[in-house]
Amino acid sequence: MNIREFIGNKILIFDGAMGTMLQSMGLKAGQIPELLNIEDKDKIVNIHKKYIEAGANIITTNTFGANELKLRDTDYTPEEIIESAVENAKTAAQGKEIFIALDIGPIGELLEPMGTLAFEEAYEIFKKQIIQGVKCGVDLILIETMTDLYEAKAAVLAAKENSDLPVFCTMSFQQDRRTFTGCTALSMVMTLQGLGVDVLGVNCSLGPIELQPIVDEILKYASIPVMVQPNAGLPQVVNGETVYKITPEEFGKIAKTMMEKGVSIFGGCCGTDDNFIREVVKAVENIKLNKLNNKPICGVCTPSKAVIIDGVKVIGERINPTGKKLFKEALRNKDMDYIFKEAISQVEAGADILDVNVGLPEINEEEVLSEVVKNLQSIIDIPLQLDSNNAKAIERALRAYNGTAIVNSVNGDDKSLDTILPLVKKYGALVVGLTLDESGIPSKAEDRYKVAMKIVNRALKYGIHKENIIIDCLTLTASAQQEDLMETLKALTMVKEKLKVKTTLGVSNVSFGLPNRELLNRTFLTMALGSGLDLPIINPLDKAMMDAINGFKVLNNEDRDAKEYIKVYGNKEESIKLNKNEHIDLKEAVIKGLKKEAANMTRKLLKEKSGMEIMDEYLIPALDIVGEKYEKGIIFLPQLMQSAETVKTAFEIIKENMALENKKVMNKGKILIATVKGDIHDIGKNIVKTLLQNYGYSVIDLGKDVPKEKIVEEVKRNNIKLVGLSALMTTTVKSMEETIKALRENNLNCKVMVGGAVLNEDYAAMIKADFYAKDAKESVEIAKKVFKS
């Protein structure tokens, strides 16, 4: 029995929650569920059997947290836990047609650049789990409850590169329709489909009613089977106990509705048990599979921003050393701030995508391109085009990229096609095909079309969808090849009409060597747009070029009702976009995340102002603005963390230069934070720590899995006025409550704020916390209140 025969051809039912069942059987607060695979096998086998009896045809191994970081303080290795977990699942499934899924959850630490865990370190952790699961004989790999698209990518690559099993991947979304790190449903679909997963979907965090709009969006774009595993509604506190209000019968009805819309795989998450799965099986037993017929999406994305190429989109050309002395120096010196400013100025000018080219003979392009990609993605959220003729540099950059990128480029030469196209397919990228081959650029449009057709056909053979192919018919220079110039536009039209793929051109090449280049560029751009150009590669700081594009979008019916046009040109007092050379102050440097710039400005300001004045006039106001943008969903966690790290850089300079005044700066108050006993997650806590420190508070971080006695002792010793407690597991909320009780019993004059994915206002009140911090920015507001009083 091979599960691939069922995927997309038959409705499949997963099991429900393991943790909920274990809690009902007496799982203690702080107890690690995965250890029961060895220490209480019968209990795990019994839970699997209950789900099988309820009608589930896929059961999930009890290995959600079986990675080396979460198990490092136990007596067992991940390999031992996984081996026993698979054995337990096989025992329960013996004699029945049941598939076993290797369950892989998040590692529990943020990946770079938001955190400290390197992408390849995460990959290695997942790799060990997958190799062991495959060795033990699972039928598929389930990567679930991911909130960071980058971590999901590391897990998917580990699964694809170390097994040939089907890969299912689900992410967890909040009610704002984004994950904790800001990832959208569309970006998830684009990226996971590109990476070649067999099934994608959502699980956890929300109930089925709250998940419905997110599921609808996924079904709108997904072209592979979709799975859903909701919680049993949103948790509520009744008589001091956590309860879920949705009944098994209601859960089953909602499952039926989702199945009718196109979901083909269903199961349960937190709060569900075998009764929920039994009702799902009943509700869907007579439903016919509703196969999705969506075409693959033509677009690129970062986690927080997707750009669907359904009209003219601008690719910014300025991150390129050609003819730029200062840019070359920046690359040699690894001056990321220079590159950041080039990127920011293009984004502010209206670029949809940025071309990134770091090709210099004297640098290690493989290393530099991937580093530039990672750093750019920490400050801007628009997609990138990776521009290189170095295959190793392209692969390394594709691996480092978070989302779906464009590869620029391949050409009609067989070696180029057979080297680059497999990488494009593996990482789910789009690819630019140049209409040249070993003989050079054909002079006639018909011959360039033939090269384009070869590129398209070869890409299709490699399994690359036509939607992911972009053809560049190559702009010739009017000064040297005037007679052949119009052949570019003829070829462009032929490609659009006959091959039906997207097109791109480096527009400014046309004017090389002639005066008044702007006039020729603008004229050629307009002609090319009329011939079918989709992706002009231009300098977006050239207002005349952007004006031409904005006008074309209205006339070509892309800008419906001229809404964007009116927004730009309707106000006579139209503000001019910030030029990259315009002076910015320290506050602006923090908002934009320019570390080097902020450091230099801080040193200069210290000659005129005190450290406290710099904090109060520049750093704190900048963080307030960044925090407000984060609250409104204008920026997301990567940009928030980059600004926080920029403040940290400036703050370190203040401390170094103003040792005496440093005491005043740090005198805003001492805060103790900890993840409570039994909980080994510290992602949220670490973000809170960084932000509080940057607001000038002294933070004592006790780490994770901290006993209440230790917290009480440190509060006494350090005369702490505010304690921050974190928990990400429902099983450790009790530990948080006991910690707060211990602080009260010791008559300690401190306030307590609590936070974590499993908490809400009701939970906080129930466990007698003083404040509930929904995120890091809220923790700062709480600190301001406490230390003002």
DSSP annotation string for 333-373: TT-HHHHHHHHHHHHHHT-SEEEE----TTS-HHHHHHHHH
Provide the 8-state DSSP code for 317.
Answer: E
Whole-model pTM: value is 0.86
Q: Using the predicted structure, report yes or no on whether residue 237 has a pLDDT greater than 70.
A: no
Beta-bridged to residue 167, according to DSSP, are 141
| Residues ≥6 apart with Cβ < 8 Å to 85 | 34, 37, 44, 61, 62, 63, 66
Length of the chain as a residue count: 789
Tell me: domain 669-789, CATH 3.40.50.280, correct?
yes
Q: Is 178 helix (H, G, I), strand (E, B) or coil?
A: strand
State how beta strands 535-538 and 315-319 pair.
Answer: parallel
Return the structure tokens found at 721.
């006025």
- Residue 383, Cβ neighbours under 10 Å: how many? 26
Return the structure tokens found at 668.
């805003």
270 assigned binding-site residue:
yes
Region 353-370: what's the mean pLDDT?
A: 95
Could you report the per-residue pLDDT of 533-561, keeping only the tens digit for each? Answer: 999 999 999 999 999 999 999 999 999 99
Whether the Cβ atoms of residue 510 and residue 278 lie closer than 8 Å to each other:
no
Could you report the per-residue pLDDT of 606-634, keeping only the tens digit for each? Answer: 989 888 788 888 988 898 898 888 888 88
- pLDDT level of residue 581 (50, 70, 90 thresholds): very low
Specify the pLDDT at position 575: 42
Could you report the per-residue pLDDT of 495-545, keeping only the tens digit for each? Answer: 999 999 999 999 999 998 899 999 999 999 999 999 999 999 999 999 999
Region 242-263: what's the mean pLDDT?
A: 92
Residue range 3-284 forms a domain whose CATH class is: alpha beta
- pLDDT level of residue 579 (50, 70, 90 thresholds): very low
| Burial of 737 per CB tally in 10 Å (0-12, 13-18, 19+) | buried
Specify the pLDDT at position 24: 86
- pLDDT level of residue 721 (50, 70, 90 thresholds): very high
Whether the Cβ atoms of residue 265 and residue 201 lie closer than 8 Å to each other:
yes
Residue in 291, 312, 167, 142 with CA at minimum distance from that of residue 229: 142
Q: What is the average pLDDT score of the chain?
A: 91
The CATH homologous superfamily of the domain defined by 312-557? Dihydropteroate synthase-like (3.20.20.20)
Beta-bridged to residue 111, according to DSSP, are 117
- pLDDT level of residue 574 (50, 70, 90 thresholds): very low
In angstroms, rounded to a whole number, what is the distance separating the alpha carbons of residues 184 and 189?
9
Q: Looking at the chain, which residues constitute the CATH 3.20.20.20 domain(s)?
A: 312-557
Specify the pLDDT at position 688: 86
DSSP 390-434: -HHHHHHHHHH-SSB-EEEEEESSHHHHHHHHHHHHHHT-EEEEE
Q: Using the predicted structure, report yes or no on whether residue 308 has a pLDDT greater than 60.
A: yes
In angstroms, rounded to a whole number, what is the distance separating the alpha carbons of residues 477 and 520?
10
User: Which percentage of the chain shows pLDDT scores above 70?
Assistant: 95
In angstroms, rounded to a whole number, what is the distance separating the alpha carbons of residues 682 and 674?
8
204 assigned binding-site residue:
yes
Q: Using the predicted structure, report yes or no on whether residue 347 has a pLDDT greater than 70.
A: yes
Specify the pLDDT at position 239: 67
Q: How many CA atoms lie within 13 A of 637 on its CB side?
A: 26
Q: Which amino acid is at 331?
A: L
Among the residue ranges 28-37, 140-149, 412-421, the one predicted with the least confidence is 28-37
473 assigned binding-site residue:
no
Q: Looking at the chain, which residues constitute the CATH 1.10.1240.10 domain(s)?
A: 578-658
Specify the pLDDT at position 620: 84
Q: Looking at the chain, which residues constitute the CATH 3.40.50.280 domain(s)?
A: 669-789
Whether the Cβ atoms of residue 189 and residue 218 lie closer than 8 Å to each other:
yes
Q: Which CATH number fits domain 578-658: 3.40.1390.10, 3.30.70.1450, 1.10.1240.10, 1.20.1270.360?
A: 1.10.1240.10
Among the residue ranges 78-82, 139-143, 730-734, the one predicted with the least confidence is 730-734
| Residues ≥6 apart with Cβ < 8 Å to 149 | 171, 179, 181, 183, 187, 188, 191, 303, 402, 403
